[in-house]
Structure 1
């Protein structure tokens, strides 16, 4: 049976990684008004049925639509709600280590995005993309948060980190086990995560994908936690090339770089912080999936 990792244990890990991991006091159920959600880059379910037809990427390249791309990526993880007080599956540690490793010299996966230029330049890597981690345990995360509430939590994360809002920010709101952010895991919601921008703040709705097992990538490569790095990595890479959907790099059918390679050629990458499961992303240079 897996060890139960409580906040104190994870805080020690976060400190060792040089990441600010703090218990928060924000109101997890606050509502946001004036936000019209336009979720983009949905990570749809993984078809694990025996004999399922192999998915092939659309061959058309990504097109630039005149907007920003993230030239210096700044990822912030917000673990939303008191429910994160118990994390027996080690999700906080896994995601923290994954994003801590991304951007460092051993990361040859993120650099596929460096070929894309736009307002702001082109993505530059060399140091960790992870700039902060916050466990917002001021209240329980809502059982069925709306897109507006998720955007509001991303905004509270921005305030907590005292970060400056802009195209380089990637605020990843990670919901706890057993809740259904924007309908995740309910009938007619066949997706694992999505990203959007809220009043100019790029953010990701990252549910507790282990709740849906193999449909969202669990044990698809090496461990039960595979889905967290595959799905969060999918949304992260899309936010790099299209932080304000869909004004960055999108193909003629509306697909972003990770959409075009979703659930294809799943594999592991070795980072300075560990080994993690990922999917490739689209490269215009090779006119196919890479990384």
Structure 2
């Protein structure tokens, strides 16, 4: 049955319209006298919260509206790509005045209703619902509702929203569900079905006068967009003068000696099968808009007589219940009190655990039954490397070669008619705890800060890990108990010895590994100046051939070179190698002692001294660019003069060779002799000026003989 409600209505008068039996529309008039289609499950426009639930709810009509308890003929059909609850989990909110409703026993109303929901799965009555399925495309795979109904949880709400859930307060049954989800009083399960059961002192407009229960869906406040649609249902305690409106048999006798509770159970069952097959009010309906239980409302089929004179047709949780029939969606369809549940996929082993690199004990975690064979099995997600899934039997075998944190695996079983069921289990592949030597030998420097080292690493097991070491580290060193890293400055010498690190995981599993630790005494550190006692000569603008004036032997490595005083501009020392390179741009006219300091990783150092002198650039100046002489005349002239360099004496040379009758003074650059007597000639000569440090430069002149 479908109708709509609106929260802005203060006083609601209803007109009941019957179409055959199940399709009921409720019209209402608000204070303005206007007729409205009103939505029960929507907040008032002035409310600050908006759940945006469905505009329709589907209700079970009161008994007197059943038009003679008629079964509604006509086939029920499925709307493609709409949802059903394949493996429903049931969550219960007892709202109002109840005594320990979640743990009640005996003949208490909550105990009777809770036991129905806990035991209805697997019964032949609920087996009818396993004929309903979902399907994405025409001719595609059909995924059927399983025979399982899981008890998800229970909570008690002692009228936190007041004792009226109607338009007078602007609070409704879906607000009760939303509040429980927002406060995490129940698991937030997008695939769950949430029941609200109200006590007799809670007013819900229309209850017992127009309907006995209903179901719908809401978008919860807690969820971010896009919000899921959560299925929920309402059933009230029918105690009172109107009990007969929602009771399947007399008001003085019932299977559980509690007529009000037994009245609730038939309504609960009605809403359960409807919400499972049509959770969002758009899935399984007939041409008149009736859902499966609507078509059989207030009809009970074959019944048995209980010892107390009441009647029952279902046994669940060892209790007897009188529950209305459900629609079997065959062609033609019919109402029934039960069928043997069809094929299903049942979790045989809920938790499967293997060990990495250890052959797995074969297991079939999910088994298929019923239906029409043969079966095919698939699994998702894919199993870890080394494990194999038998598509014909669902058996897992092999040797896992990779670890896996607890993971939900879903096995889908399909029979030869393409009927599909699935069920899940948890798979874990544990990796044994291992301790691995990462640094076989740690040789540390005495009395010097060490570079942190992690000699042993942990893997596998269950983190976090705890590290301990034996024997105790030398003074100044410490081991991190959480990382296994060694830090500090050793202040004691240690000959090489074996250290054992033990790793313990959170499950108290242990593993060990060893490494060698040594802290030698500081090595002898000896400087060498090369070449000893020599002055290194350099010249401005002349690139200096790299040289290393001071070296050292011994020490503890990682040497660092520094120099004092600062080198002339253009020169630098390599801090790692001690090599001096560059092209000087400034002079150092007087040989100056430079001190090179070499410091090792422990802070020990040695020094060496060398002398450095930088001369101005050597020059060659043309004094006579062109000299002309007659043949056989005596001549004397200095065409090029040298200077600049402080590395004296200077020396001169000429190229090409002068005529045999002429000579160059290599000390002064003076040319003397006689002009040759041969034929007239004109030649260009190059005079090179060199200093005592082998720096040189040159200039040219022209000589003409007439």
> Partner of 1:155: helix, strand, or coil?
helix
Give 1:68 shift: 0.4
Secondary structure at 2:239's aligned position in 1? Answer: helix
Name the CA distance, whole Å, in 2 between partners of 1:169 and 1:32: 22
- Relative to structure 1, is the Cα distance of residues 254 and 139 closer, same or farther in structure 2, using a 3 angstrom cutoff? same
Say if 2:145 is the partner of 1:123. Answer: yes
**SS of equivalent residue, structure 1 residue 270:** strand
- 1:114 has 2:130 as partner: yes
Match of 1:207 in 2: 236
CA distance in 1, matches of 2:109, 2:49: 27
CA change 1:67–1:116 in 2 (3 A) is same
Quick check: 262-271 or 133-142, which moved more?
133-142
Partner in structure 2 of residue 238 of structure 1:
274
Gaps of 5+ in 1: 1-29
SS of equivalent to 1:43: strand
Shift of 1:261: 0.3
Pair 1:281–1:217, CA change in 2 (3 A):
same
Alpha carbon RMSD of aligned pairs, Å?
Answer: 2.9
Within 5 A, what are the aligned runs for 1:43-82? 43-47=60-64, 53-81=68-96
Give distance in 1, aligned partners of 2:189 and 2:68.
42
Name 1:10's counterpart in structure 2: none
> Which position in structure 2 is the counterpart of 1:264?
299
Q: Out of 215-224 and 148-157, give the one that drifted further.
A: 215-224
Query: CA separation of 1:284/1:48 partners in 2, compared to 1, >3 Å: closer, same or farther?
Result: closer
Identify if the C-alpha distance between structure 1 residues 255 and 90 changes in structure 2 by more than 3 Å, giving closer, same or farther. same
State how far apart, in whole Å, the 2-side matches of 1:31 and 1:231 are.
33
How far the C-alpha of 1:123 sits from its partner, in A, is: 1.2
Aligned residues of 1:48 and 1:214 also touching (Cα < 8 A): no
Correspondences of 1:69-218 after superposition (within 5 Å): 69-81=84-96, 83-85=97-99, 90-103=108-121, 105=122, 107-118=123-134, 121-126=143-148, 128-137=149-158, 139=160, 141-146=162-167, 149-159=172-182, 160-166=184-190, 168-185=191-208, 189-199=209-219, 200-211=229-240, 212-217=242-247
**Residue 83 of structure 2 contacts residue 134 of structure 2 at CA under 8 Å; is this kept in 1?**
yes
**Cα 1:43/1:279, change in 2 over 3 Å:** same
Structure 2 residue corresponding to 1:277, chosen from 305, 318, 322: 322
Task: Map Cα deviations across residues 98-146 of structure 1 (whole Å, 9 max, x no partner).
Answer: 101021x4x11112111111159321124x4221111122736432435
Secondary structure of the corresponding residue to residue 133 of structure 2: coil
Q: Deviations over 1:41-68 (max 9, x none)?
A: 311111399xx74513223233335310
Q: Secondary structure at the match of 1:124?
A: coil
Question: What is the TM-score normalised by the length of structure 1?
Answer: 0.76
Output the CA distance in 1 between the equivalents of 2:84 and 2:49: 26
Aligned length, in residue pairs: 251
> CA-to-partner distance for each residue in 1:183-214, whole Å, 9 max, x for gaps?
324xxx41111100011110012122234311
**Alpha-carbon contact 1:59-1:288 (below 8 Å) kept:** no
Q: Identify if the C-alpha distance between structure 1 residues 137 and 113 changes in structure 2 by more than 3 Å, giving closer, same or farther.
A: same
Alignment match, 2:553? none
Aligned counterpart in structure 1 of residue 334 of structure 2, from 255, 265, 288: 288
Q: Which residue among 42, 58, 69 is the counterpart of 2:59?
A: 42
Note the alpha carbon deviations across 1:209-241, whole angstroms, 9 max, x for none: 234311101645645132111101100100010
Q: 1:53 to 1:174 in 2, by over 3 A?
A: closer
Q: State the alpha-carbon separation in 2 of the partners of residues 202 and 231 from structure 1.
A: 16
Counterpart of 2:581 in structure 1 is none
Find the aligned partners of 2:159 and 2:280 in 1 and give their Cα distance: 29
CA spacing shift, 1:283–1:218, aligned 2, 3 Å? closer
- Secondary structure (helix, strand or coil) at the match of 2:91 reads strand
Q: Distance in 1 between matches of 2:202 and 2:159?
A: 17
Answer whether contact 2:161 2:171 (CA < 8 A) is retained: no
Distance 1:58 1:32, change over 3 A: farther
The partner residue of 1:249 within 284, 287, 306 is 284
- Distance verdict in 2 for CA 1:55–1:77, change over 3 Å: same
Conservation of the 8 A alpha-carbon contact between 1:181 and 1:205:
no
The structural deviation recorded for 1:243 is 0.5
Distance 1:92 1:155, change over 3 A: same
Name the residue aligned to 2:13: none
Does the aligned pair in 1 maintain the 2:76–2:284 contact within 8 Å? no
**1:34–1:163 CA distance, 2 compared to 1 (3 A):** closer
Measure how far apart 1:86 and its partner are: 8.1
Higher relative CO (Cα under 8 Å, sequence separation at least 6) belongs to 1
Contact kept? 2:131, 2:144, Cα under 8 Å:
yes
Structure index of larger Rg: 2
Structure 2 counterpart of 1:22:
none
